[in-house]
Amino acid sequence: MSRTSTPRDPYEVLGVQRDASEQQIKKAFRALARELHPDVNAHDPQAEEKFKEAAEAYEILSDSERRATYDRYGHEGLRSGGYAPNFDGFGSIGDLFDAFFGGSSPFGGRGGPASGDDAAVAVELDLAEAATGARVEVSYEAIERCEHCHGNGAEPGTPIETCERCGGSGQLQALTRTPFGQMVRRVVCDTCHGDGRVAAQPCRECRGRGRKAARRTLEVDIPAGIADGQRIRLSGRGHAGEAGAPEGDLYVLVRVREDERFVREGADLITALDVPAPLAALGGTLQTPTLDGAVLVEVPAGTQPGEIVTLRGRGMPSLQGARNGDLRVVMNVVVPRRLSDEQRELIARLQETITEENLRSDESMFAKLRRTLRGHAA
Ligand SMILES: [Zn+2]
Ligand SMILES: [Zn+2]
């Protein structure tokens, strides 16, 4: 290698300012790479050397830690930190390009067969189904590889030939007039779409596209504890990619229908239980709904409006496998309305007996307000 022992300043090599952004550095390197690409520079013996220098500069400046080290201590600092850029090990400049651009050209052209797009589908569950988990069938439109031609677009038994339009390169050169004169730009061939090869006789099932839309039905397991708006990803169940490329993913959006009996708060459920005022005063038992059906709940004597009785573990299961949430039963103490004469008389007699002692509580004004407001919110 004929490189001088002192490497050049990477900012100078890429032609960027010292405060250049990540984006500017990337852009400068790509522009330089475009200039030095062997296809463009077949006659310049120095192109390879120059490209290696640009690649080394990019390696340093595209890594924030390395860049900071270089900024403070220069090349010496990078070397003493154990970083020694060296691309001499690459067999050819073509390999180097592959290393940097993943086998695709830096011209923004074809980068190998494109993988399939993601597909999406929505499912709706009841709260009870969300609690137990469910297996649901989803149906969606997906682009699939054509079975008839196995995705190559040719009618079986007919040849696939080199594209005449681009001569098999998959690219066309387009001349564009600019203020600086004519520029050659490469574009993807519109006949073979970059493949370089076309079917002599296009497949009759997919008309040569190699893929076609089909309705697909799938059973999806929805885990217990799923919440409204969560998505499940099924990898490889999306649209087919180009021949040789992987399929996209399927996203299942889960909608959980509202249940008029419960409000969900994380893994907890909240329900309001109507408690007749006399029962709240005397204490007793009432039935409250749960996801597993009605259960008896103890209403303590002297229960006040908005007080909460917690049924442990009667909420939703946790997706993470932690313990179940709770069911919080809010005591909605109902004062009787539309009294009969007899009831009116009974309550009047009760009212005459009420003393300070009956109304006394240990709660502060603040605690009382908080309880009643919470009762309202639920
Ligand atoms: Zn086909
Ligand atoms: Zn072509």
Distance CA 144, CA 115 (A): 12
State in Å: Cα 196 to ligand 2 middle.
5
Q: Which of 10-14, 56-60, 255-259 has the lowest mean pLDDT?
A: 56-60
User: What average pLDDT does this structure show over 345-349?
Assistant: 96
> Pick from 189, 94, 210, 211: which is nearest to 142 by CA?
211
Residue 174 neighbours by CB under 8 Å, 6+ apart:
184, 185, 186, 187
Asked if the model's pLDDT at residue 58 lies above 60, the reply is: yes
More confident residue, 228 or 106: 228
Beta strand 327-334 with 284-288 is unpaired
State in Å: Cα 177 to ligand 1 middle.
40
- The neighbourhood of ligand 2, an ion, using CB within 5 A, equals 163, 165-166, 189, 191-192
State in Å: Cα 168 to ligand 2 middle.
6
Per-residue pLDDT tens digits for 4-50:
457 889 999 999 999 998 888 888 888 887 777 655 565 666 777 78
Q: How confident is the model at residue 150 (pLDDT cuts 50, 70, 90)?
A: confident
Amino acid found at 149: C
State in Å: Cα 198 to ligand 2 middle.
7
Asked if the model's pLDDT at residue 377 lies above 60, the reply is: no
Q: Is the dihedral of CA 239, 241, 246, 248 positive or negative?
A: negative
Asked if the model's pLDDT at residue 288 lies above 70, the reply is: yes
Position 43 scores a pLDDT of 61
Which ligand is nearest the CA of 155, by number?
A: 1
Position 65 scores a pLDDT of 83
State in Å: Cα 186 to ligand 2 middle.
12
Position 108 scores a pLDDT of 40
Which ligand is nearest the CA of 171, by number?
A: 2
Position 42 scores a pLDDT of 58
User: What average pLDDT does this structure show over 68-94?
Assistant: 70
Position 93 scores a pLDDT of 57
3-state secondary structure the chain: CCCCCCCCCHHHHHCCCCCCCHHHHHHHHHHHHHHHCCCCCCCCCCHHHHHHHHHHHHHHHCCHHHHHHHHHHHHHHHHHCCCCCCCCCCCCHHHHHHHHHCCCCCCCCCCCCCCCCCEEEEEEECHHHHHHCEEEEEEEEEEEECCCCCCCCECCCCCEEECCCCCCCCEEEEEEEECCEEEEEEEECCCCCCCCEEECCECCCCCCCCEEEEEEEEEEEECCCCCCCCEEEECCCCCCCCCCCCCCCEEEEEEECCCCCCEEECCEEEEEEEEEHHHHHHCEEEEECCCCCCEEEEECCCCCCCCEEEECCCCCCCCCCCCCCCEEEEEEEECCCCCCHHHHHHHHHHHHHCCHHHHCCCCCHHHHHHHHHHHHHC
Mean pLDDT for all residues in the chain: 84
State in Å: Cα 105 to ligand 1 middle.
29
Q: Which of 109-123, 242-256, 331-345 has the lowest mean pLDDT?
A: 109-123
Q: How confident is the model at residue 335 (pLDDT cuts 50, 70, 90)?
A: very high
Cβ pair 36, 54 in contact under 8 A: yes
Asked if the model's pLDDT at residue 118 lies above 80, the reply is: yes
Torsions phi, psi of 220, nearest 5? -120, 130
Determine the length of the chain.
Answer: 378
User: What average pLDDT does this structure show over 338-361?
Assistant: 95
Quickly count: other Cβ atoms within 10 Å of residue 314's Cβ. Answer: 21
- CA 143 distance to own-chain centroid: 21
Which ligand is nearest the CA of 198, by number?
A: 2
pTM of the entire structure?
0.57
State in Å: Cα 214 to ligand 1 middle.
13
